[in-house]
Every structure is written in structure tokens, then in C-alpha cells.
Amino acid sequence: MKKDKLYFLTFLSIAAIFLIIALVACQYFIKVSANQLIEVQVESSKREANEVAKLIDFQVSSGIKKDKIVSNIQQIIENSDTDTWFISIFNWSGKEVCHPDKTKVGQQVNSNENLLSSLKEKNNSDDLYDLLMDKSNPDQSEIIHISPIKKTDLIVAANVNISGITAQMDALKGNFYLIFSIMGILVIVLSFVAVRIIGSAYEKQLELKNSTLTSEVVNLSKLNSDLVSYKEKIAETSLDKVITEEPLESEKKRILTYIRNELVPIAIKDIAYVYTENTITYVICFDGKKSTTNMSLDDMFTHLNSTLFFRANRQFIISISAIDKIIKYGNSQLKILLQSKTSDEIIISKNKAAEFKQWLNL
């Protein structure tokens, strides 16, 4: 249940992040793309208006009457497409002389002069885009470029049909939103699947580590169980019987130690562990009493019963009766906690661990 909730929250997080990024990015890309499209069309309309102006100027220079020229131009542009961009001609008084819609011939030109001057000075389409996106604008068309004809009162104008371009921009918006929606669905779904796959792989690794840890705990429990069993076995059997019926000559019942200048004999059975430090060998009893001996750790071990004492490492010899707990430590190492009143912890290396386990099973 927790996993499903986590995956659901992950899904919502990815979706929310993508939605925020998409809203910002989509508006930016729409405006950039719309501006580029408008700039191309504006330049094309300007070029067309200039070409028509040159043609009329050539006809005027050739002696063709203005009325004839106007009539010919009207016949050419009449009923032409006015859905987006188109050419018209008006005179200095501001009346339409030629227009694709013949009903508008003779009507007064109504155009945004600020827009016209802005486009002429800046040569960009930002103002036109803002005008097109202004839904409150009642005008159906705007003049974006004018080209006066020399020696006449005629002016060729490049016009834009605002409603047509607005529809074109809306279609562009729709395409962008559709693309971002498809991308969003793919990104969210693929991210969710990736999270599931990565999460499953990580969970499998955790399960493997847990199973390994469980196995190690079981082995360690068995090791401690063997220790308890061995201690019970020693408790049930007298020390004399465990050692052998004929003890070795080198094995001692007690050893002579020193506490400062005082000679103190200590029974072998009272020794919890022996260790060496700075070339001095210390003997620690179960009651915490600490004394020293002149023997080295190697000499000491030769006088101890190997079934009751174990050489844990170069520094320690421990008694089976002194061991309280065996804990896994590091990489296949063991940590021995003692029952004595001291706080020493003894580490058995990886190489010695197998020998220690075998010693416990004696």
C-alpha cells in the first residue's frame, strides 16, 4: 500500500512539474513562432506592395492615364483572397481607390497609424502580434505598410486581415498545445515507468541484502548457541575430566603473577583473558583483577588448555567461560564481548573466524 502511494505521489509530482514548465514554455514558443511567421508574411506583403507601386509608377511614366491604371488594378485584385494578407490602393484623402472587396471602394481608410509607424521604424512584428491577440479590437483589417506612387496621389497599401490571422494564430496555438500534451503524456508515463523499474531494482537489492543479513544473523545465532552448549558441557563435566585423565606436564593449575612488587598466584580457571601491550603481558581475572607476568603470550598459551582457551589474535588469549556474546563485525570478522568486569572488546579476523568456529564445536 505504501509503495502504491509513493508511486502515485511520484506521478503527481512529475505531472505538476511538467505542467508548470509546459505552461511557461508553451507561451514563449507560441509567441516566438507566431512572430517569426508574421515577420515572414509582413516582409512578403511589403515586397508585393512595393512591386505593385513600381508597376504603377512605370505605367504612369509610360503615359497611361491614372483612371485606366486604377481600373486595371481593380480588375486584377478584385475578388482576390482577403483571408489573411492582401493589397489595396487609396489616395491622399484617405479613400479606398482599389480593394479586393469592391463594396469598400470609396470608403474612408481606417487604420492604426501608431501601428504603421511602429512597424516602419522597428521593422518587427511584436506590435502586430499584440494587436492580433487583442480580442477587443473591432477592426477587421490593418494597414502594415504603404508605398506612395510618384507623380500621383495614389498609395499602395499592404493589409492584414486581423480575423484571418487570429484564426491562423489560434490554429498555431492548438498545434503547440497538442504537441505539448502528447509530449507531456509520454514524459510522465515514461518517467513513471522508469521510476517503477528503478524502484523495483532497488527493492530487489534491499531484499537481497536483507536475506543475506538474515542468513548472517541465523549463522551468528547458531554460533552463540554453540557457545552456550559448550559452556553447559563444561559446567556438567569437571575440569579434571575435560582436560584429560593424564594432564600434560606443560599444563599448569595456576601461574605466578605480579601486582606491583607483590607476587600473586592465580588459578588457571579464574583467568578470563590474557593480553599483551607494550611487551608486557597482562592477566585479567573474572573479578576484574589485573596482574602481570614475565611470560610472553606465546609461552602463556603453551601452558593453557587449548580446549578452554583460544588465541584470538596476536594480542589476546580468551577463556571459553569469559565469552558473553559473539557479534558479526565488519567483513566476515567477529567481535567477542566478555563477561569480565572490563570493557575490552576482542576482534577475531576473517582468517581466524573459521578456526574459532571449529574450536567452539570441539
Which residue has 505539448 as its cell numbers?
A: 180
- What CATH number was assigned to the domain covering residues 2-182? 3.30.450
Sequence-ordered strand ranges (E) for the chain: 85-91, 96-98, 141-148, 154-161, 254-259, 262-267, 271-277, 280-285, 290-293, 309-311, 316-319, 323-329, 333-338, 345-348
Q: Is-contact 73 98, C-beta < 8 A? A: yes
Tell me the CATH class for 239-360. Answer: mainly beta
In 3D space, the residue among 30, 310, 342, 10 whose CA is nearest the CA of residue 168 turns out to be 30
| 137-146, 196-205, 284-293, 296-305: segment of lowest average pLDDT | 137-146
Give the chain's radius of gyration (CA, Å): 50
Mapped onto helix, strand or coil, the DSSP state of residue 21 is helix
Strands (E), 223-340: 254-259, 262-267, 271-277, 280-285, 290-293, 309-311, 316-319, 323-329, 333-338
Quick one: average pLDDT of 85-104? 88
User: Which cell goes with 300?
Assistant: 602463556
Distance in angstroms (rounded) separating the CA atoms of residues 78 and 340:
114
Cα 155 to Cα 90, 96, 268: the distances in Å are: 5, 10, 124
Q: Where are the beta strands (DSSP E) in 138-296?
A: 141-148, 154-161, 254-259, 262-267, 271-277, 280-285, 290-293
Q: Hey, where are the domains in the chain? A: 2-182, 239-360
CA dist., res. 143 & res. 104, Å (int): 15
The answer for residues whose C-beta is within 8 angstroms of residue 145's C-beta and 6 or more apart is 42, 45, 46, 49, 116, 119, 120, 157, 158
**Phi–psi pair at 66, nearest 5 degrees:** -65, -40
pLDDT for 282: 92
pLDDT digits (tens, 9 = 90+) for 259-302: 888 888 988 888 889 999 888 899 988 888 889 998 888 888 88
- Specify which of 47-61, 174-188, 331-345 reaches the highest per-range mean pLDDT: 47-61
**What is the average pLDDT across 162-174?**
81
CA–CA separation, 347 vs 352, rounded Å? Answer: 10
Q: Rounded to an integer, what distance in angstroms lies between the CA atom of residue 324 and that of residue 111?
A: 100
pLDDT in tens, 204-228: 887 887 777 777 777 777 777 777 7
What's the CA angle centered on 329, arms 326 and 332, to 5 degrees?
A: 100
Looking at the chain, the whole-number percentage of residues with pLDDT higher than 90 is 4
**Cell numbers for 177:** 498545445
Residue 282 gets the label, from left (phi > 0), alpha (psi -120 to 50) or beta, of beta
Task: Confirm if 264 and 258 have CB atoms less than 8 A apart.
Answer: yes
pLDDT tens column, 14-55: 778 878 887 788 778 887 887 788 788 888 888 898 999 998
Mean per-residue pLDDT over the chain, rounded: 79
Task: Supply the pTM of this predicted model.
Answer: 0.45
pLDDT of 120: 59
Q: Which of 328, 309, 332, 305 is CA-nearest to residue 320?
A: 309
